[in-house]
Structure 1
Amino acid sequence: MSLAIIGGTGLTSLEGLEITRREVVRTPYGEPSTPLIHGSFKGYDITFLARHGYSHNIPPHQVNYRANIWALRHVGVQRVLAVAAVGGINEQYGPGRIAIPDQIIDYTHSRTTTFFDEDLSQVTHIDFTYPYDDELRSWLLRAAQEAGVDAVDGGTYGATQGPRLETAAEIKRMRQDGCDVVGMTGMPEAALAREAELPYAHCAVVANWGAGMESGQTLSMDDIRANLTRGMESVKMIIGSLAPKVL
């Protein structure tokens, strides 16, 4: 089974990936964030896509999610692991932790959210009751355990518009809504993967506490970068253990 990794903030390249070729894919929806990188990771074939571009210059609200997902499907990818930095808004999801969420609440707006919006012979709906693929989530959790990474099983990802970080009041509302982590790229990526019939799961790296979670404290970019560095090392360990299960 061909596996794609979509790398977010902190993972614009996959260290240890032996690149075999770069592929420029033209899509009906414009240009993907980057050419697709095909290569071998610990002996297994993987396709890598940097969601925000190699130089991290595409903000969350301007990512061409449709082009990215379409391109991966077009080249024959069969499963997608999305990696992203998030903020923790529940005590179990502190900085440096890895979470494998099982639900999403979408707070984004003004994004193109579907492939099914023009030249339709009929209206198309997808079942999105459970937005992440159960089998891929289970493999991720087992891979984390085998790699010695303490990953949180489950949780609700709150997807916000960005690129700004949230206010303390917004985080309070999201926590009341049942969110456990907050990020800016979870939607419409997950829904588009479902429309494309690509099993999709999320590996969320908690980079910081959400705004207002630490009384009187503001967010430190230095702390965020340090937590991301630590968390992404755990992600690479998980991917190394995951590959034999998926491929």
Structure 2
Amino acid sequence: MSEPGTPPVVGVIGGSGVYDIEGLTNPRWETVETPFGPPSDALLCGEIEGQPVVFLPRHGRGHQVPPNRLNFRANIDALKQLGVTEVLSLSAVGSLREDLEPGTFVLADQFIDRTVGRERSFFDTGLVAHVSAADPTCTRVMGVLEDAAKAEHIPISHGGTYLVMEGPQFSSRAESFLYRSWGCDLVGMTNMPEAKLAREAELCYATVAMVTDYDCWHDEHGNVSVEQVIKVLTENAEKARRLVARAVPALAGRTRACAAGCNTALDTAVVTKPEARDPAMIDRLKTVAGRVL
């Protein structure tokens, strides 16, 4: 656990195509055990310009774990065990808007969760909590990422709604048009419940959604395919590595608690009275919620 104002340790969750970090010094892989099972892979620890950073390949090295089998709780718990306070989440997405072309990066700030088979909370029977997810991303970290993208001349759009589907199949055409009718900007498979779990763990979380395709709604573009996605993924991965290398040192300057309140999200969230809390649950949550328990 970490108290508000703890010096930052930046966590990077690398999505499809992003499996390493440029400029990382003193690298070492650490295997972490969690009460929720194993995370996707070992975690790569090191520094960028002196700023501690922890990298987790979301799908495992070599892309072994499909999105619908990711152990999101273990991933977030493992990051926090290693002292992470800020999380940069990189993920490949499809665009639901004409102006968000393949190759564009989007700082998504809202999510619609359409997944069906994933564990969505660290809390459970015996220890109940309700965190606010009205604004699930950290505005401060998003600002740093936007500045870093501009400095690296990477096309980026600030704000957008990311619909998270279960996968691993891509959308049907009817689904794609439905998501557009809802006003969604992006469609992908990985950022829920990741974002809400990060909030429960009191981590500052921001998403860099990397557009690879137009899903299947666009009449002038073919249906999304793995071949198409991989081609753009390769181009996006190079930009993502530059973005991370620029953004991580910029996050080193925080000396106080997050102004957005991310690291105090549990202050008023736990509703189970102390005398009624399950000791086993308290022990299970000692990493993500130990500050308030």
SS of corresponding position for 1:205: strand
Distance 1:230 1:216, change over 3 A: closer
Contact map agreement 1:131 1:191 (CA 8 A) in 2: yes
Equivalent position amino acid for 2:77 in 1: W
> Any residues of structure 2 matched to 1:46-195 within 5 Å, and which?
46-120=53-127, 123-195=128-200
Distance 1:183 1:111, change over 3 A: same
Equivalent position amino acid for 2:21 in 1: L
CA RMSD of aligned residues (A): 1.4
Q: For 1:81 and 1:215, how far apart are their aligned partners in 2? A: 33
Q: Deviations over 1:81-118 (max 9, x none)?
A: 00000001111211111111111111111210000113
Q: For 2:164 and 2:14, how far apart are their aligned partners in 1? A: 17
Equivalent position amino acid for 1:174 in 2: Y
Alpha-carbon shift at residue 77 of structure 1 (Å)? 0.5
SS of corresponding position for 2:242: helix
1:40 paired to 2:78: no
Q: For 1:134 and 1:52, how far apart are their aligned partners in 2? A: 26
Equivalent position amino acid for 1:116 in 2: F
**Which is greater in Rg?**
2
Q: Which structure 2 segments of 5+ residues have no match?
A: 1-7, 253-293
Distance 1:29 1:79, change over 3 A: same
Q: For 1:150 and 1:42, how far apart are their aligned partners in 2? A: 25
Equivalent position amino acid for 1:204 in 2: A
Alpha-carbon shift at residue 42 of structure 1 (Å)? 5.0
Paired position in structure 1 for 2:15: 8
Number of residue pairs the alignment of both structures matches? 245
Q: Which structure 1 segments of 5+ residues have no match?
A: none
Equivalent position amino acid for 2:45 in 1: H
Runs of 4+ in 1 over 6 A off after TM superposition: none
Q: For 2:122 and 2:224, how far apart are their aligned partners in 1? A: 36
Identity between Structure 1 and Structure 2 (%): 39
Equivalent position amino acid for 1:67 in 2: A
Contact map agreement 1:98 1:152 (CA 8 A) in 2: yes
Q: For 1:45 and 1:244, how far apart are their aligned partners in 2? A: 9
Q: Deviations over 1:206-227 (max 9, x none)?
A: 0111112234722233321121
SS of corresponding position for 1:140: helix
Contact map agreement 2:18 2:241 (CA 8 A) in 1: no
